[in-house]
Structure 1
Amino acid sequence: MSSKFGGQFPWSDSAHMNYIGLVAQAGAIPLFAELIQGPEPLGQEVAEDAFCILAVAEENAVSIAEHLVRILREGNSEAKAAAANIVWDLSGYKHTVSVVRNSNSGAIPCLVELLGSQSSEVKEAVSGAIAQLSYHEADREALIESGAVTHLLELLHDDSEELRDNAAEALINFYEDPLQHDRISEVVDLPAFRNMQNRLFRIRAYDDQTVDSMGRMTIEQLTRDPDLI
């Protein structure tokens, strides 16, 4: 899984970064946070996209994380799900991941607590965010400290296929971590875990093959056309 922007932005040059800074200084972040808590799904989508852009600047990411944590704690189910989706989107930003992980933000404990929510929408969004965060070693440690593994093991038996998939994806990342391998070994024969493990194996094999093919194509092109060198 990955964030919608994949961590790559056309706005990362200095001119656009200055513009992003000015937008934040004008008070945009609290306004977009209000949209997330509003009744309109379109407003939530606009706020989600805006936060993904504004968080390119690290100082904005800190402020955004504070608002998201507050929403995760105090918002209604729709707002909590939207906030979790934004954490999911932002998980590919190196500086944002460190902000989310930071113990002062409280984001990871909030996410883990919401795995026990009565709302399927919230649990699906939160489990997706946790699955994405679990690709980072330091985040796995923070997730374990917050008790995520117990919840994820329970979700492997949930009726929702999306929840099972998200939980299995996170647990596979724990299982592949030498420091956490033994903790997760009990789940390796469960169907949800095995199915996701096979799916990820195929995805990774395809990605490796694509990268290799592109590399060979580039070399062949350069060989045929020396002017490209």
Structure 2
Amino acid sequence: MECPPPVRREDGEIDWAEAARKYLDVVSSGHEGAAVRATLEVKRMASHAPDPAVRLAVWALVGLLDRSPPPRLQAAASQALCSVVRVDGGKFADEIVDAGFLPVAQRLLPESEEVPQRILLRCLSCILSFHATSRVVFARGGGAEVILDLFQGCSGATKRHLVEILSALALVREVRRLILADGKVEYLVEAISFGNLVSRTRAAQSAGLLGASTNGRSSLVEMGAPLALVGLMRDGDSSAKLVAANALGIVSSIGHHLPLIHQSGAIPLYAELLKENPPLAKDIVEDVFCILVSIRDNTGAVLENLAGILTGQDDLAISSAVDVLLALAEYKSIITFLKSSGVITVLVDLLQNRNHDVVEKVTGVVAQLSYEECIREGLMEAGAIPILLDLLHGRLEDLTEFAAAEALINFSEDPSCREYAPMLQRVPELSAFRDHLFHFRISQGHLIQSARRRIEQRLNSQ
């Protein structure tokens, strides 16, 4: 039996209603070869047919699969559906799900031969990507178990589709619990490294969610998730890097897992994120670096990478790095590393930056650090005092001048700064500010806490 050509009207246009009727006749005829050829014709014309004809074809194709057709016909029907679901960014995905594709696919997959199974998986992957709610339906209907069972012994081509499907399903909480309970976290880790970039990013997001629990975190580390996430940070686009960086922070930054971030080479990659400039990148880097400096071996690497950004030409990246450094200044563990990392010299150079935002932030960091004796020595050696004096203009009306005055007062109280003490004592702005700072310290009971943040709060509330 031959596959009939499309029916055309007198005006040369295809009569889609008649074509659909003839397709149904061919599929119902029981002639496998003609049905395969007709189904592949549906695949070819999927992007050209009007919506009503495509919807009719969807129901016919799902119905054909539901009858457990021979392998060639199953493969052809799956290919046709895959073409349909990709039309206009998945606008027919709802129709395919409504036609009952998900339970049909779930039933066919375990019993299918390799080639039709792979094509069916590709179709399922497309639907789960375009149709988010179908992930929950398929997962809760037992589909997740079917997919996990298919991993064992599958070929490389099939595994690609499996990891892409798993990355979509793992966004569902019940699937993550199943993966952990069945000891199949390794498949989720594979999904971070294998597949298209969108799928790998989804898998990284799922790993971050799974890593929120102690058991999940331990299993992910055991299966090599940190290295997989570092790979995505290195190779991914801006969005993928952020997701992977956040997940790595969750998975590796607690307890005995913390050294993995340094060991996996992730610290320079976190620093590079600051050059991407979105606020979320800065928040992620700040959180991770503040945790990292709790371990001595990490501190030097963190500060050296920040120094590398501070010596660059990108003012937005410099500003972000200064914000991170200000957060780190709260931690005593960084003090002994500041001089050896070169950060102090860089900060003094940045006090003369042409960007007001950068100068304001750097002055705040210098004020914060000036409470430490060994840091004052380094700042003085780098020539900070004359530059800080130049930042005073007599009014103390902005945060830069407040911070500069605060740092200079700390220098004036340091016996090791004797050569500058007489000059600092004669600066009128410092005399007025000294009393304010003294009373603030007494009232708050924090003799070494920077006043800058309190002043900033007061100014912002006006």
- In the superposition, the TM-score normalised over structure 1's length comes to 0.76
CA–CA distance in structure 2, aligned partners of residues 26 and 158 of structure 1:
50
Residue in structure 2 matched with residue 19 of structure 1 by the alignment: 257
Q: State the Cα distance separating 1:167 from its structure 2 match.
A: 0.5
Match of 1:175 among 400, 412, 418: 412
Secondary structure at 1:31's aligned position in 2? helix
CA–CA distance in structure 2, aligned partners of residues 54 and 69 of structure 1:
16
Residue in structure 1 matched with residue 371 of structure 2 by the alignment: 135
CA–CA distance in structure 1, aligned partners of residues 294 and 439 of structure 2:
31
Residue in structure 2 matched with residue 201 of structure 1 by the alignment: 438
Unaligned runs of 5+ in 2: 1-252, 447-462
Match of 1:100 among 332, 338, 355: 338
Check the 8 A contact 1:165/1:192 in 2, yes or no. no
Identity %: 37
Say whether 1:124 aligns with 2:353. Answer: no
CA–CA distance in structure 2, aligned partners of residues 75 and 53 of structure 1:
27
Q: Any residues of structure 2 matched to 1:49-198 within 5 Å, and which?
A: 49-102=287-340, 105-157=341-393, 161-198=398-435
Check the 8 A contact 2:290/2:328 in 1, yes or no. yes
CA–CA distance in structure 2, aligned partners of residues 136 and 95 of structure 1:
12
How many residue pairs are counted as aligned between the two chains?
193
Q: CA RMSD in A?
A: 2.2
- Kindly provide the CA deviation profile for residues 19-57 of structure 1, in whole angstroms up to 9, marking residues without a partner as x: 222233333322211111113122122212221111111
CA–CA distance in structure 2, aligned partners of residues 195 and 19 of structure 1:
50
Check the 8 A contact 1:155/1:164 in 2, yes or no. yes
Give, as a single letter, the amino acid of the residue that structure 1 aligns with 2:271: A
Task: Please identify, of 124-133 and 82-91, the stretch whose mean Cα deviation from structure 2 is larger.
Answer: 82-91
Q: State the Cα distance separating 1:182 from its structure 2 match.
A: 4.6
CA–CA distance in structure 2, aligned partners of residues 70 and 23 of structure 1:
19
Structure-2 change in CA distance of 1:158 and 1:82 (3 Å): farther
- Kindly provide the CA deviation profile for residues 77-120 of structure 1, in whole angstroms up to 9, marking residues without a partner as x: 11112222222222232331111122xx2111110011000001
Secondary structure at 1:205's aligned position in 2? helix
Give, as a single letter, the amino acid of the residue that structure 2 aligns with 1:167: A
CA–CA distance in structure 1, aligned partners of residues 421 and 305 of structure 2:
33
Give, as a single letter, the amino acid of the residue that structure 1 aligns with 2:363: S
Structure-2 change in CA distance of 1:111 and 1:158 (3 Å): farther
Give, as a single letter, the amino acid of the residue that structure 2 aligns with 1:207: Q
- Kindly provide the CA deviation profile for residues 163-216 of structure 1, in whole angstroms up to 9, marking residues without a partner as x: 10111111011011122145043244545323432232122111339xxxxxxx
Check the 8 A contact 1:112/1:147 in 2, yes or no. yes
Give, as a single letter, the amino acid of the residue that structure 2 aligns with 1:42: L
Match of 2:281 among 34, 43, 56: 43
For CA contacts below 8 A with separation 6 or more, give which structure has more relative contact order.
1
Give, as a single letter, the amino acid of the residue that structure 2 aligns with 1:133: L
CA–CA distance in structure 2, aligned partners of residues 167 and 61 of structure 1:
27
CA–CA distance in structure 2, aligned partners of residues 184 and 79 of structure 1:
36
Structure-2 change in CA distance of 1:144 and 1:19 (3 Å): same
- In the superposition, the TM-score normalised over structure 2's length comes to 0.39
Check the 8 A contact 2:371/2:410 in 1, yes or no. yes
Structure-2 change in CA distance of 1:53 and 1:196 (3 Å): farther
Unaligned runs of 5+ in 1: 1-14, 210-229
